[in-house]
Amino acid sequence: MPPGGTSRQRAAKDVVDVLNEISTLLNTGLDRTTLSLCVSLIENGTVIKELRREAKALDQSAGR
């Protein structure tokens, strides 16, 4: 494991813990796995609004 890997893992766990608490307070229905995936998408530069727009365009072109 690279140096600092443990501290990064701890920081990531702390972030998911906080997001999970917020999610629970807001009653979003998102579990820890979903929250972790969302964090990963955001960290990798994924823009959810663009994904939704593209999915909608694909649905419309498929006649759904």
Average model confidence (pLDDT) across the chain: 90
pLDDT digits (tens, 9 = 90+) for 16-26: 999 999 999 99
What pTM was computed for the model?
0.67
What integer is the mean pLDDT of 2-26? 90
Does the pLDDT of residue 37 top 60, yes or no? yes
d(CA 49, CA 13): 26
Say what percent of the chain tops pLDDT 90. 73
Radius of gyration, CA atoms only, the chain: 16
Summarize the chain as % helix, strand, coil (round to 5): 75, 0, 25
What integer is the mean pLDDT of 48-62? 91
- Sign of the dihedral defined by the CA atoms of residues 3, 42, 46, 29, in that order: positive
Confidence bin at 45 (pLDDT 50/70/90): very high
